[in-house]
Structure 1
C-alpha cells in the first residue's frame, strides 16, 4: 500500500511534509525529548523547581528516546532501498559532524574564557566520535559534554548495514524474538550493575558505552521495520504518552528512597528500562501519521522545533555553563525560575540560528560533494526486500 505524505493546513493553505518529515509527529517528539534533557540539566546544575524538577529529575532518559528513534527512522527510511554503505555513512557524517564541530568550538571557547583547562585529547576524541568508548570523565565530556551520545550514534551508523542484512531482522518472527531478547537484555544489563564495585565505571558501562546502548537502537530498528511492514501496536498514541509519563512518575518515590550512587537507583534504570515504552510511543506516533490522523505533535511549529532539537541538545549545556559563571547556583525559587527562563530562551534562539546557518546548509553542502547512490535502472521494479536499505 502506498502512503501519501502527511499534510497540515496553515492559513488555509495545505502544508505537505516530505523527506525527513514524512512522519512529522516523530519530528515533533524530538523537541519534547530534547526538552526533557534540558530540564534535567537545569534541575541538577542550576537548581530545582518544586514539582517540575521531580518529573524531569531523570530526564536524561530523553537520550534513550533519541537512540530508539534513530533506529526506527533509519529502518523506516531505508527499508527496500539499494544504497551503498559508503553513501549512507557519508550522509550520516554530513548530518551530525558539522554541528558537532561548531558546538565543540563554542564549548571550548567558553571554557577558555572562564579560565578552565581543556584537554586536547578529550577534544580530539570527541571530534573523532570515539569518546564514549573511553571510561574517563574528562574524555567522556570531550569538547562538549552533551556530545558523548554522538559517539554512540556513530557506532550505530557503522553497524546499521550489518543489522539490516541479518535474516532475523528481515523476518517477522525474527523481529519479534529480537524485541523480546532486547527487552530482557536491558533488564539483565541493569542488574549486572551490581557487579561493579566502582560507581564511575558502572555509570560508564551502563549509560555511555555504545555496546550497551546498542540494545536501544536495535529495538528501534525492529520496531521501525515492523510498523513499515504493517504491524500496528495495540496501544494508541495517547495511551503510550500516558505510559511514558507514568513511568517517570514512578521514578519520583524511587529516587527519594534510593540515592543515585547505588546500582539499583533509578538513575540507570530510567535510561535502560525505558526503551520499550519509547519504542511503543514512536510506533504509535508513526502509525497515526501513516493513517493521516492529527496528533498535535506534527504541526508546522512542532516540526520546526523538532528541527532545532539537535542543536538545542548540543548548545543548552554551554549556555547553562555561562549562566552559572555569571549568576552562580541560585537559592530562591524565583531566581531559579528566572535563570531557567533565560537559559531556555537564549539556548533555543541560538539553536534556531545554528540550524539555519550551520547545521542545515553544511549538511547539504557535504552531501552534494560526497558519494552518491547510483540511479535505479529504468523499467526495473525495486525488489520487495532489498538487502541493504540505506539513504
Structure 2
C-alpha cells in the first residue's frame, strides 16, 4: 500500500542517512579489493572470513549507480539547464578523477610498469568503460571505470528526467519492475556474446549499467509522489544483507549485479523515506555523515593506497595478525588520502567550478532540465 504521509509530513526534507550509507557501500568495495590482495599465508581463518564477508563487495558499485539516479532526480532543480547541470557534475567528479589518475600514472612511471598511450588517454577522458579490454577499463586507477559509466549517465540524465517526470503515476511501479527485470536478464543476454566479452557486458558496459541508474530515477519519482510501499529500513536492510551473501552462490554472471539489484533498489528509498519521516538512525550520526561525505574520495584513493602499502612492504604474504595490521594500514592510508582529496581538491572544485556552494538536498518540485 502506498504511503502519502511521507510527502505531507513534517519530517526532514534532507536525506542524510543516504550519505552515511554511501560509505558502507564504499567500504564493501575496499574490503573486496583487500580480500583479493592475497595478504595472508594460509587459507581459512582470517582469509576465509574476509572472503565470506567481502566476496560480493563489488556489488557496492550497483548501490552507487542506483543511488546516483535516485539523488539526481530527487535534487533536480526547477528551471535548471543542461549546461548548469553538467557543469555541477563535472565539478564534482572530474577534479578528483584527474588528481587520482595523474597520481596513478606517476606510480606507473616510477614503477616502470607498461601502460599504453591509448589506455591513458581513454582513462583521462573517462571513456575507458567503452573499451572492452581489461587493461583499458581497469587501467591506471582501477575504480575510475565506474566514473566513465557515470559520465554517460550524466550526459543522458536531462532527457531521462524529462521522460520520467511526464510518466503517469500508475505507470511508475510497473515500469520500475520492468527495468529491474531487464537488469536480471542481462547475464542471460550475455550468453550470446563471445566469452571474453561477457564480464565487460554485464559489469562494465555503460548502456547495460544505465538500467540501474534509471531504476534510481524511477524510485525517486515514486517516493516524491507518495507511492512508496510500507517497507521500512530494517526489513529492507535484512533483505539486502541476505541478497549480498546469497548472491555469491549464484552462477557467476548473475552474481555480479542481478543477484542484489532488487534488494538494493528497495533499500535506498526505504532509507530515504525514513529520513523524510525524521526517524533517527545510526546512519545520521555525525561520524557516518562525515564518512559519507568523503566516500567518493575514499572510493577513488583506496586502490592506490592498497598498492602503495603493498609496494612499501614488498610483495609477500603475512601471518594472520601481521596481515590484519597491513589491512588496517591500507584502511588508514585510504581514509587519510580521502580526507586530503576531499579537502584539497573536491570541496574547492565544487566552489570554484559549480558556481555555488553545495546545498542540502531538498524535496524537489516536479521539474525538467531544459536545454
Same fold (TM over 0.5): yes
> What RMSD over aligned residues (CA atoms) do the two structures have, in Å?
2.3
Matching residue within 180, 204, 209 for 1:208: 204
* Alignment correspondent of 1:52: 50
After superposition, give the CA deviation of every residue in 1:216-260 in whole Å (9 maximum; x if it has no partner): 0000000011111212232210111111111122235x27xxxxx
After superposition, give the CA deviation of every residue in 1:47-85 in whole Å (9 maximum; x if it has no partner): 46332321211110000000000000011111x611111
1:330 is displaced (CA, Å) by 1.6
Single out whichever of 146-155 and 170-179 deviates more from structure 2.
170-179
Is 1:321–2:307 an aligned residue pair? yes
Is 1:87–2:84 an aligned residue pair? yes
Counterpart contact for 1:26–1:286, Cα < 8 Å: yes
- Specify which structure has the bigger relative contact order, considering alpha-carbon pairs within 8 angstroms and separated by 6 or more residues: 2
Q: CA 1:384/1:308 → structure 2, altered by over 3 Å: closer, same or farther?
A: closer
1:357 is displaced (CA, Å) by 1.2
Matching residue within 140, 156, 160 for 2:157: 160
* Alignment correspondent of 1:137: 134
Is 1:271–2:254 an aligned residue pair? no
Counterpart contact for 2:184–2:254, Cα < 8 Å: no
* Alignment correspondent of 1:117: 114
1:106 is displaced (CA, Å) by 1.1
Alignment of 1:162-311 (within 5 A): 162-166=159-163, 170-198=167-195, 200-252=196-248, 254=249, 264-265=251-252, 268-311=254-297
Is 1:386–2:361 an aligned residue pair? no
* Alignment correspondent of 1:259: none
Count of residues paired in the alignment: 352
* Alignment correspondent of 2:32: 40
- Paired with 1:52 and 1:242, the residues of 2 have a C-alpha distance of 20
Secondary structure of the residue that 1:143 maps to in structure 2? Answer: coil
* Alignment correspondent of 1:363: 350
Q: CA 1:389/1:27 → structure 2, altered by over 3 Å: closer, same or farther?
A: farther
In the alignment, structure 1 segments of 5+ residues that lack a partner are 7-17, 256-263, 370-382
- Paired with 1:237 and 1:280, the residues of 2 have a C-alpha distance of 9
1:336 is displaced (CA, Å) by 2.0
1:365 is displaced (CA, Å) by 0.6
Counterpart contact for 1:155–1:210, Cα < 8 Å: yes
Single out whichever of 348-357 and 168-177 deviates more from structure 2.
168-177
1:324 is displaced (CA, Å) by 2.2
Counterpart contact for 1:186–1:273, Cα < 8 Å: no
Q: CA 1:225/1:99 → structure 2, altered by over 3 Å: closer, same or farther?
A: same
Secondary structure of the residue that 2:75 maps to in structure 1? Answer: helix
1:137 is displaced (CA, Å) by 1.5
Secondary structure of the residue that 1:51 maps to in structure 2? Answer: helix
1:169 is displaced (CA, Å) by 5.7
